[in-house]
Structure 1
Amino acid sequence: MKIIIAPDSFKGSLSAVEVAKAINKGVKNAYADAKTYLLPVADGGEGTMETLVAATNGKIQEVVVVGPLGNEVKAAYGILGDGETCVIEMAVSSGLALVPEGKLAPLDATTYGAGQLIKQALNDGFSSFVIALGGSATNDGGAGMLQALGLKLLDKMGKEVGYGGGELAAIEKIDTRCFDPRIKNSKFLIASDVQNPLIGLNGASHIFGPQKGASPEDVKILDENMRHWADLIAGVTGISLHDLLGAGAAGGIGGAFQAFFPAKMERGVDVVLEYVKFHSYLKDADLVITGEGQVDYQTASGKTPLGVAQAAISENVPSIILAGAVGEGVEVLYDYGVVSVHSIIDRPMTLSESMKQTAILLEKSAEQIIRSYFYSLIKELEGGRLI
């Protein structure tokens, strides 16, 4: 019996590595001789750096940068096992988790720290980058990141504007003369599951702004400012980000990469699956177990469980999903090789209680799944005895 365990993190509770270990424990409880392969994954959001570093036996380099609210924070970038590729995760320098409860500031939050991480990695000799965009607290169109890398964003008085999406309207000129020249000789693989354009009702401000604390009035201001920003960028680069797919990722930083970097955007989970060599483990596999904290119709937009299931079914290996919560519309996942979707919650409990018990709930759920799914095989392997 060969089983691949490839979950994402359960945000706020367990990392992808911890989730995989808990599931593996449950599998072994059901059948100790099962051959299991733990391949924790991510979709370009929080945990992507940790996952890739762990998968390649890499290391973490700590850096102090400007956080989303302008204060100093401890951040880091990952160095993959090849010693040549740098992984930078937006959430580490500019993420929602860095903002204290009740302090979200979508008009002021900046991506400056992300630019500092890139600059430090360039200083350390790296020219190959994987950038994970999920989990940002920002809506500045990547302006802060570009400023950290030498781009001058000048107001009508010729002075540099301040931080945040609220300042974009004040920009009168983009001066590229001091933009770090090393960038054009580097390569950037952008990992993101977001296909939204920069502006409009489906753009960065309208879709993701409220998650970052934006009121309806804030959303209107941010979207108008983002249009002005896109107009300026088009005038400098000839690239129109307004309706460009993926430009709205991470509060518009996806567009900044597309306009000013030699960048290629790919679905985040596909990037991770390639680095963990997921396909090489599928031969002769009986089952893939994946999962994340919340599974619903949005999972089919490119979240980790979908990407894992799609990769698995390409080799005719079925998948089962474990989730902290199962919402509406999961039926669409059955078209992608998913056999079933299971909530790990086994009795009435609060969210706080379930998050504290995630590991044991995952273990119990995995054990029950294996006992049910492989009942006949286990019985045969155990000489006809029920175990």
Structure 2
Amino acid sequence: MRILIAPNAFKNSLDAAAAAQAIQEGLKKSGLECVCECFPVGDGGDGTGKLLVERKGGRFIKTETTDSLGRKIAASYGLINEGRTVVVEMAEASGIKLLKQDDLNPLYAVTDGTGILIRNALDRSIDEIVVAMGGSATVDGGSGILRVLGVRFLEPGGREITDLPIGLKGLDSIDLSGLDQRILQCKVVVMCDVENRLLGEEGAAAVFGPQKGATKEVILHLEEALSRLRDIALKVTGVDMSEVKGGGTAGGAAAGLYAFLNASLVDGISYYLDSTGFKDKLEHADLVITGEGSIDMQTLQGKGPFGVALMAREKKIPVIGFAGKIPLNEIPELSEYFHALLPIGNGPADVNSAMADTYLNLLRTAFNTGALLKLSSGI
């Protein structure tokens, strides 16, 4: 049996490569006669950029930048396609993983650090910039990135707003005269791991703000700031930031790059699988195992396991999904893509304990899956 192991990261617990390793180890220990190939995947979320660069045989450039609170840090971006394409991972500079829980402050968290990585990359001879946007600590509509690239956000009277994103509530005009023209000579691709738009009940502030420390009151302030940014951006660019699917990614940064840099917003997992030759790997697979922290209806909105399962279904290859959390009752829409969904938990546990045991839980679940496959095949 030829098994293709293609999990996404288990958020805040295990990266995709380690998850694939755990599954492979469990299958081998089961005694199932099989040939396994690990193909960890990313959908634009935290870790996607690293996976993409490694899979494409690229290299990393380390440089100084800032985190979302303006503190100096070192971070890396990748070069692929003979150095003509830059891969920037937002979580490397503006990620929530870089902050302690008590530090979360989306009213003042900014994406400047990601902008610094992009500006640094522009000093090279590049044709394309790919931004993996998941995992940010920010809800600034990309204003920090744009500020670093020369865009000025102005109050009435022409004074520049410095307290992004909350200061955008008082935005009066946007000055594009200083925009680094090199960015407009590049193709900009944004890998989105969600379909949410910028504003509203399903928008960047309302849905993702709480994950970044926003209370109900803070969400209202962020929504007002993003709405004002949308209004002025529409006057300046003629582009409505709130209309684009996926614009809510990374606190609306996707919408900001779409409006001001003419960025293409793409389904992150589809882009990753197409770019890395996943379809070719399926030609040699009898079974696919994927997974991530939770598999539910939201998975069908462009998450990693869905992209894997969708491509496998086209090849009529069965798919098993491992997850820390799965629906209690069968959901027909999920059953169309996943032949089996297996929870990896080993008993009652709080979230932190469960996440700490993810590697062992994946190993055990894969072992038992291998044992069942061995039993059913008579091996």
2:49–2:78 Cα contact (<8 Å) kept = yes
Distance 1:217 1:349 in 2: 32
Q: What secondary structure is seen at the aligned counterpart in 1 of 2:104?
A: coil
Residue identity opposite 1:375 in structure 2: L
Q: Kindly indicate whether residue 173 of structure 2 is the aligned counterpart of residue 142 of structure 1.
A: no
SS in 2 for 1:201: coil
Write the distance in 2 (CA, Å) between the matches of 1:242 and 1:353. 39
Q: What residue in structure 2 maps to residue 97 of structure 1?
A: 97
CA distance in 2: counterparts of 1:41 and 1:116, whole angstroms: 26
Unaligned 5+ runs, structure 2 = none
Aligned-pair CA distance for 1:306: 1.0
Determine if the alignment matches structure 1 residue 212 to structure 2 residue 223: no
Amino acid at match of 1:115: G
Query: What is residue 303 of structure 1 aligned with on the other side?
Result: 303
Q: Take 1:183 and 1:209, find their aligned partners in 2: how far apart are those partners?
A: 29
- The letter of the residue matching 2:155 is D
TM-score (structure 1 length as normaliser): 0.93
Alignment root-mean-square deviation, CA: 1.8
What amino acid is the match of 2:17? V
| Aligned position for 1:385 | none
Deviation at 1:330, TM superposition (A): 6.2
**Distance in 1 between residues matched to 2:99 and 2:13, nearest whole Å:** 18
Q: Quote the Cα distance in structure 2 between the aligned partners of 1:329 and 1:121.
A: 48
Separation (CA, whole Å) in 1 of partners of 2:329 and 2:237? 41
- Describe how 1:6-45 pairs up with structure 2 within 5 A: 6-31=6-31, 33-45=33-45
1:114 correspondence with 2:111: no
Letter in 2 for 1:355: M
Structure 2 partner of 1:371: 371
CA contact (8 A) 2:155 2:171 kept: yes
User: Which residue in the other structure is 2:261 paired with?
Assistant: 261
Unmatched segments (≥5 aa) in structure 1? 380-387
Greater Cα shift, 22-31 or 133-142:
22-31
Q: Is residue 336 of structure 1 aligned with residue 336 of structure 2?
A: yes
Structure-2 residue corresponding to 1:202:
202
Q: Distance in 2 between matches of 1:354 and 1:338?
A: 23
Q: Give the fraction of aligned pairs with identical amino acids, expressed as a percent.
A: 36
- Counterpart residue identity of residue 357, structure 2: Q
CA distance in 2, matches of 1:332, 1:345: 23
Cα distance change of structure 1 residues 95 and 329 upon mapping to structure 2, 3 Å threshold: farther
Q: Which residue in the other structure is 2:241 paired with?
A: 241
The TM-score, its normalising length taken from structure 2, stands at 0.94
Cα gap change, 1:125/1:241 in structure 2, threshold over 3 Å: closer, same or farther?
same
Match of 1:184 in 2: 184
Residue by residue over 1:136-178, the C-alpha shift from the partner in whole angstroms, topping out at 9 and shown as x without a partner, is 1111111111000011112223222114220112222211111
Q: Which residue of structure 2 lines up, in the alignment, with residue 382 of structure 1? A: none
- Hey, what's the Cα distance between the residues in 2 that align with 1:273 and 1:149? 30
How many Å apart are 1:42 and its aligned residue?
A: 1.1
Please tell me the residue identity of whatever aligns with 2:168. L
Residues 178 and 12 of structure 1, relative CA distance in 2, 3 Å threshold? same
Partner of 1:321: 321
Residues 16-62 of structure 1: CA distance to partner in whole angstroms, max 9, x if unpaired? 11111111111222346412111000110101012112212222211
Which residue of structure 2 aligns with residue 384 of structure 1? none
Q: Which letter does structure 1 place at the counterpart of 2:164?
A: G
- Equivalences, count: 379
| Residue in 2 that maps onto 1:292 | 292
Could you list the per-position Cα deviations for residues 240-270 of structure 1 after superposition, in whole angstroms to 9, with x for gaps in the alignment? 1233322222111111111122321111111
